[in-house]
Amino acid sequence: MKNKQDSTKTMVLCNEFQFDAAHSLPNYKGKCKNLHGHTYKIRVCVKGHVNEEGFVIDFSELKNIVTKKVLDILDHTYLNDIIKQPTAENTAIWIWVQLKDSLPLHEIWVWETPTSFVIFRGEK
């Protein structure tokens, strides 16, 4: 069993973040048609094997990557300038694309309100 990765030590590790942004959904027949803002909450989950030091990934490394590639770009912006038709769904896809080359992604969660959210598990 040595050198073989132990599946009992595979784990999903998540970190949650928040950012504030405005958006509008011009084709939507409802309140989100008009310009307004949300405090978005996101959860970034990675999956991997626990290494010899006992980590899947260092939480601070995950935080640094998400801050640089997502939060610094989206916080206090008009999302429509960055993401086409910025629904929670399209925002989750955008975040996945931003992070997929830097992290072993498992899931991206995006809350548009405390009770409305999407979960994205990749493009397949």
> Is residue 45 annotated as part of the catalytic site, yes or no?
no
Binding residue for Zn ion, selected from 11, 14, 32, 118, defined by CB under 5 A:
32
Q: Which stretch binds Zn ion (CB under 5 A): 28-36, 43-51, 99-107, 114-122?
A: 28-36
> Is residue 76 annotated as part of the catalytic site, yes or no?
yes
- The DSSP 8-state label assigned to residue 57 in this structure reads S
Going by their DSSP bridges, the two strands 10-23 and 77-78 should be labelled as: parallel
Give yes or no for residue 118 binding Zn ion (CB under 5 A).
no
Contacts of 86 (CB under 8 A, 6+ apart): 23, 25, 79, 80, 94
Q: Which stretch binds Zn ion (CB under 5 A): 7-15, 27-35, 51-59, 90-98?
A: 27-35
Backbone phi and psi for residue 29, each to the nearest 5 degrees, phi listed first? -95, 75
Minimum CB separation of residue 77 from Zn ion in Å reads 14
Pick the catalytic residue: 14, 32, 49, 107? 32
First-to-final CA distance of the chain: 32
Structure tokens at 99: 């992070």
# of chain residues touching Zn ion (CB under 5 A): 1
Pick the catalytic residue: 52, 53, 76, 123? 76
- The DSSP 8-state label assigned to residue 105 in this structure reads E
Q: Which residues bind Zn ion (CB under 5 A)?
A: 32
Q: Which residues form the catalytic set?
A: 32, 76, 112
